[in-house]
Structure 1
């Protein structure tokens, strides 16, 4: 995905250089910092979902992201200009409504998410290449996709044997509870980092350089920061996995992630101009909720991941609540 983001930034920069006759690309350090914050947050999302599950993981992540991102500008934190909005009370209530909608998502679990724990041990992961599938040995229920026993996954899923005490790891907690707490910590960290990725842009717009330049000129520097920090995190994690845990890193499918990166660049440009148009607090709030609403519609209508009637009612109720909250935030801005 980060490769797609970098290529999207390069293509955008080339188009703008030809259209506006710019002498060359300009790297903005505020933009690099913004990209590094977002790239670090994106790196944490996958492990937190694997540990906490979609419901708890994504709910915590979006609640932290939305509330912290809104408070940054609402109260003028970390040097940002305070943005109270046209109708402050209405906009504040709208944010609480949006937070309530994410709490409602806690009771919504897609059908596939309910059955991912057991099948992961017996079927091949989508990230495995065709060459590796052809050469990998036959797997049993006790082995990982690499043909080796995956003790970590087995220990997390299985409960302690009857009659044996649970092993203690941290502050008297069992391994399962310690991993859950680690997942919650990852969700909080990812939410805060995602919310902070717009903070450098707000500071940049307050400088003379930011006032003289176009918002779209900020994007190329963001893509450089994202690609740089993502490469660093990938090198570190794969090295630790290889030498400390003796496990190979499975590579993901390239094309879908690359296309997703291109879409991210388009969305980022619109977000920056939205911040300039209606203010940081309202624009970032709507930007944080928008992807969730689009993903909700696709999940329900296109992929049909939610089949139970009770789950669908919670899901639709959350979506309607999000629409109401977005309207209140937009009007209050």
Structure 2
């Protein structure tokens, strides 16, 4: 850890901002119909890339490493499931679950040196393993929290009693609904929790290419020899990977929909705002990685947003209700917070 006295305050301040924004970045979208999320994904990623462009210009265009784009590709793949997750199990529970698996995947890959990275050594291994174990426990607790997410239903009150050409027609009674809205209620929770787990694992792998480049920059025989050790220098490549991947997915979606994609104009401005909030949060995370080291910043930043999102879910959107669910939410949060602190202090 750096001996520079200004690094710690900057690192913890950046972590705090990242936690607040990550836990709130989907709030602007809650009252708008976003369909299956494919159009929203592209709008959000366009905003993310614009923020990266500004950051890149401020940093005087550091060297672009194409391999860093892979992390953005991984993130964009996991992010496709965000709208279905929020629609099936709610914002608060969704972030709590994918945050837990995000923390666990990020910890394991850096701790054991997966994917060609250098293994992170810690001074207190037992404390480190305890923290990882608590993250797993918290993930199982989240699965028992029931969220109240209203299903999208179509009212038939506005349907004329007698309509022309009504004979021998088989129209969808809910033409505006996405496939997520049509999932039977009994399967919605299973679908949402499963997607949240997959997204969390992908999110936890998003920094792997950047850490790989930084680790191999210290080796003279590597193609990455001499690469920057400042994490923010890789933001433009990382975010470019996000925008490129989301564009490819959106084009594939348009082809699958036979050039009739479901677009939601009212979600454009909220989607752009959501993308900007996420991009700023991620830039803060990059700064925290540099100031605190990833083994400290990762568990802290992945633990905090779930609590912020849970507060939104409890006090604003009323997704989590009932004394039992409140107690389970607090227990889960305390568990993952304890795990994050154990993981962080194991390095000190």
Between the aligned partners of 2:340 and 2:175, the Cα distance in structure 1 is: 43
1:237 aligns with 2:274: no
> 1:309 aligns to what?
323
| 1:120 lines up with 2:153 in the alignment | yes
TM-score by length of 2: 0.70
SS class of match (2:330): helix
Find the counterpart in structure 2 of residue 294 from structure 1.
308
Structure 1, unpaired ranges of 5+ = 18-23, 124-136, 160-175
Native 8 Å contact 1:65 1:195 kept in 2 = yes
Q: What residue is the counterpart of 1:164 in the other structure? A: none
Q: Could you tell me how far 1:68 is from its partner in structure 2?
A: 2.0
Give how far 1:233 is off: 0.7
Within-5 A mapping of 1:137-286: 138=158, 143-146=173-176, 156-157=183-184, 186-208=195-217, 211-212=227-228, 214-242=230-258, 248-251=261-264, 253-286=267-300
Equivalent pair of 2:68/2:209 in contact (CA under 8 Å): yes
Query: Any stretches of 5+ residues in structure 2 without a counterpart?
Result: 1-43, 161-171, 218-224
Offset at residue 273 of structure 1 (A):
3.1
The number of residue pairs the alignment matches comes to 286
Q: Normalization by structure 1: what TM-score?
A: 0.73
The whole-number CA distance in structure 2 between the counterparts of 1:191 and 1:151 is: 22
Distance in 2 of aligned mates of 1:297 and 1:158: 25
**Structure with greater proportional helix content:** 1
Deviation sequence 1:248-296 (CA, Å, 0-9, x none): 4132602222122222222222222333344434432222222212212
Question: Which among 37, 42, 57 is matched to residue 74 of structure 2?
Answer: 37
SS in 2 for 1:307: coil
- Deviation, structure 1 residue 144: 1.0
* 2:65 corresponding residue in structure 1: 28
Indicate the SS of the match to 2:59. helix
Instruction: Pick closer, same or farther for the CA change 1:305–1:153 going to 2, 3 Å.
Output: closer
Cα contact 1:95–1:325 (8 A) shared by 2: yes
Q: Which residue of 1 aligns with 2:123?
A: 86
CA deviations on 1:157-206 (whole Å, 9 max, x unpaired) are 289xxxxxxxxxxxxxxxx6xx9887676445423321211100111112
Partner Cα distance (1:311, 1:44) in 2 = 24
